[in-house]
Amino acid sequence: MPFRIPFSGRGHNYLDSEIAHAVHTMRTAIPLTQGPHLDRFETKFREYIGADHAFAVSNATNGLELAAQLCQLESRDEVIIPAHTFTSSAYPFLKAGAKIIWADIDPVTHVISAQSISSCVTPNTRVLVVPHLYGFGADMPAIMKIAGEHDLIVVEDVAQALGVIIDGKMAGTFGDIGVYSFHSHKNITTLGEGGMLTVRDAKWADVIPMLRHNGHCAYPYERPDYWIPAMGDVDLPTLDGKPLWPMNCCLGEVECALGAKLLNRIDDINLEKRERAIQMIDFLSDYSELVFHREASARHNYHLLVAQVQYGYRDRFIRRMACHHGIQCVVQYYPLNRYPFYSKLGYGAADIPHTDLFFDNMVSFPFNHLLSNTDLDEIVATTQETLSFIRNQ
């Protein structure tokens, strides 16, 4: 059905200066991939985040695929991942040969916690995957303490939390690996797809360019004729003497040029979304049917605005918002263990009561940087009307 205010798959508009910069790059960039704009974007991102090494990739899923390879997992190794996240947080680690242990989420913040991780750690645990879901930064100091006690690799899935600050540090810089997304729905997007992989370990940084670009590398010797034996070498990437499979997940020059430009206003976008989210939450504070996670600090960028709907009202609420008011609310994220994909692989069982309770009663509102103040006022007003209507049924 058509909606007056849809749950948009686009996070923001581009400024005229950003469009002009992208067009200029289209006209002038040589080459259109693996060029100087890639270097500039990676450098600017590294400086903004405070990371040791940063590598642009075609999307965050590819970043997680590379991360899983860098972890050098074996069949006995276990990876702790919350079931309440997007599927690409999990399946790259299955492909790399590990076993998944589903962790629960915190009932207030809806992200993985040190407490839920502690109950999942075994002698075979090797990796923790920490998605900063909805744009809220998980308790990384407490999580890193557990990781240190058990010598675990920490992968931060920062796809939804670019620019989020936890105890004075950027999300993604606590763990060993950080993976960011510039997908169409995110607070900044490089024309629909894009991602960034950050790492702390120099030996990982040394091998990533080969992994990212088909095993391409320079010849280890000087060639009198540049074409003999070929324009460039291709070798098998190795880490600690073990082979890794290369991929092709480069981000093009136009996307990199745009990404570098967008970094100039990510903090402003995050601030505007957070202020609007807090305002909407406060306008609806008299309605006990909706329980929001209210966080007014830079620890939340409100990539999404979600609430838990009380009293079993969720489906009636979404139905009236959609069918009567034309406001498209949605439900996210289906616990991964419930999908046939994971069930068929033997990961259908999970002891995650907070995850189940939240998902079965949650709602995600239309909330992106494209929405006008009038749109947001209308969402608040129709939410109030809908809840009042349900109360009086």
Q: For residue range 113-146, what is the model confidence (pLDDT) as tens digits?
A: 999 999 999 999 999 999 999 999 999 999 999 9
Q: Kindly state whether residue 24 falls inside one of the protein's structural domains.
A: yes
Q: Is the dihedral of CA 138, 143, 144, 147 positive or negative?
A: negative
N residues, the chain? 393
* Same-domain pairing of 248 and 273: no
Do 181 and 252 share a domain, yes or no? yes
- Do 253 and 274 fall into the same domain? no
CATH number where 371 lies: 3.90.1150.10
Q: What is the pLDDT of residue 119?
A: 96
State the CATH number of the domain containing residue 32. Answer: 3.40.640.10
Distance CA 267, CA 260 (A): 13
Is 10 contained in some domain? Answer: no
Q: Which one-letter amino acid corresponds to residue 4?
A: R
- Segment 196-227, tens digit of pLDDT: 999 999 999 999 999 999 999 999 999 999 99
Within this chain, do residues 357 and 291 fall inside the same structural domain, yes or no? Answer: yes
- Do 223 and 53 contact (CB within 8 A), yes or no? no
DSSP letter for 305, please.
E
Check whether residue 169 and residue 20 sit in a common domain: yes
Residue 1 belongs to some domain of the structure: no
Last residue of a domain, one of 244, 262, 280: 262
Which pairs with CB-CB distance under 8 Å and at least 24 residues apart come from 189-194?
Answer: 189/10, 189/11, 189/12, 189/262, 190/251, 190/255, 190/256, 190/258, 190/259, 190/262, 191/22, 191/254, 191/255, 191/258, 193/58, 193/59, 193/255, 194/56, 194/57, 194/58, 194/59, 194/251, 194/255, 194/259
How high is the pLDDT of residue 388? 97
Same domain, 255 and 272: no
Tracing tokens 């620019």 back to the chain, one arrives at 163
Residue where one domain finishes, among candidates 229, 262, 295? 262
Query: Do both 41 and 179 map to the same domain?
Result: yes
Helical residues (DSSP H) of the chain, grouped into ranges: 16-28, 36-49, 60-70, 91-95, 114-118, 140-150, 202-212, 253-262, 266-283, 314-323, 340-344, 353-359, 373-391
Residue 56's SS3 state is: strand
Q: How far apart are CA 150 and CA 295, in angstroms?
A: 31
Same domain, 47 and 157: yes
Range of the domain at 283: 266-391
For 3, 13, 71, 154, 367, the CA distances from 184, given in Å and listed in that order, are: 20, 10, 28, 26, 14
pLDDT of residue 174: 98
* One domain for residues 122 and 40: yes
Same domain, 249 and 331: no
Tell me, yes or no, whether 189 and 272 share the same domain. Answer: no
The end-to-end CA distance of the chain, in Å, is: 25
**pLDDT value at position 289?**
98
Structure token digits, residue 257: 């040029």
| Overall number of domains in the chain | 2
* Cβ-proximal residues to 73 (8 Å cutoff; 6+ apart), any chain: 79, 93, 96, 97, 98, 126, 127
- Stretches in the chain below the pLDDT threshold 50: none
Beta bridge partners of 53: 199
**Residue after which a domain boundary falls, among 220, 243, 262:** 262
DSSP string covering 67-119: HHHHTT--TT-EEEEESSS-GGGTHHHHHTT-EEEEE-B-TTT-SB-HHHHHT
Task: Specify the pLDDT at position 2.
Answer: 87
Strand partners, 322: none
Residue 195 lies in a domain: yes
Distances, alpha carbon 345 to alpha carbons 117, 249, 297, 330, in Å:
22, 26, 40, 28
